[in-house]
């Protein structure tokens, strides 16, 4: 169960870094962004669904991480 928790934490960090780098790359001019939505145009063709579902992905990860932390460390059934 702890392995799943660690995996979800790493995945949440990875997704946060991807979102942050997309904003960084478009604001600093490293990548073009024609429609000013902070998604580089080169990424928009293949990964647009990731950015459209950003809120749901991060909410789901946060909920799952919180649930597992509660289940592993606070709730003990004997």
Contact 5, 69 (CB under 8 A): yes
Q: How confident is the model at residue 70 (pLDDT cuts 50, 70, 90)?
A: very high
Which pLDDT value is given to residue 35?
87
The radius of gyration computed from the CA coordinates of the chain, to the nearest angstrom, equals: 16
The 10s digit of each residue's pLDDT in 22-50 is 999 999 988 888 888 888 988 888 988 99
What DSSP state is assigned to residue 77?
-
Contact 32, 40 (CB under 8 A): yes
Which pLDDT value is given to residue 45?
85
Contact 22, 15 (CB under 8 A): no
Q: How confident is the model at residue 73 (pLDDT cuts 50, 70, 90)?
A: confident
Which pLDDT value is given to residue 77?
62
Neighbours of 40 (CB within 10 A): 18
């Amino acid at each position: 169960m702890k392995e799943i928790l660690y995996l979800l934490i790493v995945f949440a960090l990875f997704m946060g870094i991807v979102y942050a780098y997309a904003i960084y790359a478009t604001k600093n001019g490293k990548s073009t962004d024609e429609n000013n939505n902070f998604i580089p145009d080169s990424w928009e063709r293949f990964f647009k669904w990731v950015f459209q579902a950003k809120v749901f992905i991060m909410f789901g990860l946060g909920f799952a991480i919180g649930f597992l932390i509660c289940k592993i460390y606070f709730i003990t059934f004997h």
